[in-house]
Amino acid sequence: RILDFAIKNARSLGVQDRLIILGQSLGGSMLCYVGSQKKYKNQFAGFILEGAFSNYREIFREKASLSWLTILPGDLLSFSLPSDIDPIDYISKLTPTPLLIIHSKGDNIVYFHHGQDLYDAASQPKFFWQIEGNGHGNALNIEANRKNLTDWLDSLGHWER
């Protein structure tokens, strides 16, 4: 529904070109599943994931393991989470839409390996930006990263400033 809402609003503002969707953290992870649905094929000019995780159960267990009080309950509760919509299982279906994955080596919320795992599972065309020590979900707070993003968007040929 979120993508339908975004498309509808963009069209109501007069945007007729294909859209570029950016999802951060949970939003990026959800975008893998939602964006892979047949009704969205060729609707978008690009997908951008920043700080997204690859697997719901895994991220839950990683967060639960940070305290000795939640290790066992977290491990048990993780099995109540869905495994049929894990981002890693759907990211390859975003093709042929260009995909940019941005992940910080210093992300202490969604560890770097999630971004790398998503990139490894994705199909071409795909791009991976490893951001050094930038925390979680704030890569675009740095001017150089925003410049790199606009350059990447320009390379798609579907975006005008």
Q: How far is CA 41 from CA 26, 85, 92, 95, 107, in A?
A: 21, 18, 13, 9, 31
Return d(Cα 69, Cα 87) in angstroms, integer: 28
Q: pLDDT tens for residues 38-89?
A: 888 878 889 999 999 999 888 888 887 877 777 666 666 767 667 788 999 9
pLDDT grade for 19, boundaries at 50, 70 and 90: confident
pLDDT, residue 25, reads 93
pLDDT of the residue at 74: 64
Helices (H), the chain: 2-12, 26-35, 56-64, 71-77, 87-90, 112-121, 143-156
pLDDT band at 24 (very low <50, low <70, confident <90, very high): very high
Structural tokens at position 143: 């001017």
pTM across the whole model = 0.87
For residue 45 the two structure tokens come to 């000019």
Give the residue among 10, 36, 7 at the shortest CA–CA distance from 99: 36
